[in-house]
Every structure is written in structure tokens, then in C-alpha cells.
Amino acid sequence: MSQPLTIALAKGRILDEILPLLARADIKPTDDLFTSRKLVFSTNDENINLVLIRSADVATYVQYGAADLGVAGKDVLLEHGGEGLYERLDLKIASCKLMTAGIADKAIPKGRIKVATKYPEITRQFFLRQGRQVELIKLYGSMELAPIVGLADLIVDLVDSGNTLKANGLVPLDHIMDISSRLIVNRASLKMKNQAIKALVDKIEQAVED
């Protein structure tokens, strides 16, 4: 009998794009993940279960072995640090850019600047490479508001179409990196359930290429 595997999925845009990919790999939840109040879901494969959690928590669940595999954005993985897990596959979904942004036509102060973000570690490293002194302000949402009310000079956030920035009078500035979702694997699971995980990763990899 195969060892059951648990895959951690993130709510939001990643979920919209990962479900069709999993379906191409013949992994389909038996319930509607968008309407069900459950957090643990069985699939058409009795040896694969799905758990639905916040995107920021996926890496933690996989790190500690609460999930064998997970799907998380590269931004989340860099901020997390990647301890206890392998980044196995670029799924090429939920693509966007991590950028700095500020108020249109407003000059950025020459000295120390205030930057609001939910990615303090990535932001710290970016401005360190720029040789800029920054005061980091951690926020969890409504990032665009920070420069408008004077909380920060700049923000660092994910940018897709740029429409939200534009609607709030902000413009994208520095391109820090391209972001996409990755398939990650718990290190211990990879040793203990190697055969099952390898077979699953191969199926998902094939689905990405199709």
C-alpha cells in the first residue's frame, strides 16, 4: 500500500491556477475547495490529500512535516528562508513581479527612507545591495495606503497588472525579481516517502510541460 501524501495549497490566486494544473496530473479534490468550509480535502487518489491554508503558512507546514509537499510563491519561500524543505519545481503559475513603488512624481528622500512591506527580509537585502539606509515597516495588507498617508516613502509589493497602484496614484519603480509559484517538498518526507513523492512530482512536472 502506498504511503499517503499531503499537499498544502494556498488560498487566493495560486489556488485558482494550481487546480487546473493538478487536474492535468489527474489529481482532483472530491469537494469544491472554493465553497467548502473544510480545510482538509480528499482527492480522487486515496493516497493524496490536500490542505488549504494561508499562502504565508505553506512553507511552515512543509518545513515541519505537517504537509509532505506544498505550493508557495517564490516571495514566500525567500522570506521564509527555505529551512527544512526543497524547492523542487517551478510551476510557472501565479506569475508576477516584486517591485518597489511610490507616489507618482514625488521625489524619494536622499537619506534614510521608510519602506512598508510584508517582505522585510527580501526588502532589507535589496536595499542593502543598493547601499540605501531604510527603516522597514511591516504591513500585512493595503500596502498602497502607506505612502498616501505618509507612513512610508516607498512600498515593496507584488505587482501583476499594476492597476491597483495606478488607481491609488502610485507607480512601480524598481524591479526586484520575477515571482512564480514553486512546488516544495519536506526533507524528511523525501527520504521516507521517496518513491511516492518522486512519482507525484514527475506527474506534476509533466502537467507543467503539457
What is the extent of the structural domain holding 103?
A: 96-177
C-alpha distances in Å from residue 155, one per residue of 12, 79, 106, 123: 21, 16, 13, 9
Location of C-alpha cell 515571482: 179
pLDDT band at 2 (very low <50, low <70, confident <90, very high): low
Do 13 and 85 share a domain, yes or no?
Answer: yes
Among 44, 134, 147, smallest CA distance to 102 is for 147
Each residue's pLDDT tens digit, 188-205: 999 999 999 999 999 999
User: Residue 43 has what DSSP assignment?
Assistant: B
Q: How far apart are CA 207 and CA 97, in angstroms?
A: 24
Percent of all residues in the chain with a pLDDT value above 90, rounded to a whole number:
88
Do 136 and 202 share a domain, yes or no?
Answer: no
Do 90 and 100 share a domain, yes or no?
Answer: no
Do 108 and 149 share a domain, yes or no?
Answer: yes
What is the mean pLDDT of the segment spanning 155-169? 93
Each residue's pLDDT tens digit, 11-24: 899 999 999 999 99
Q: Domain containing 103 — which CATH number?
A: 3.40.190.10
Do 88 and 12 share a domain, yes or no?
Answer: yes
Do 87 and 135 share a domain, yes or no?
Answer: no
Do 12 and 80 share a domain, yes or no?
Answer: yes
Do 145 and 48 share a domain, yes or no?
Answer: no
* Confidence (pLDDT) at 3: 75
Into how many domains does the chain fold? 2
Do 101 and 90 share a domain, yes or no?
Answer: no
C-alpha distances in Å from residue 26, one per residue of 6, 52, 60, 124, 201: 15, 19, 26, 41, 12
Do 88 and 9 share a domain, yes or no?
Answer: yes
Q: Which amino acid is at 118?
A: K
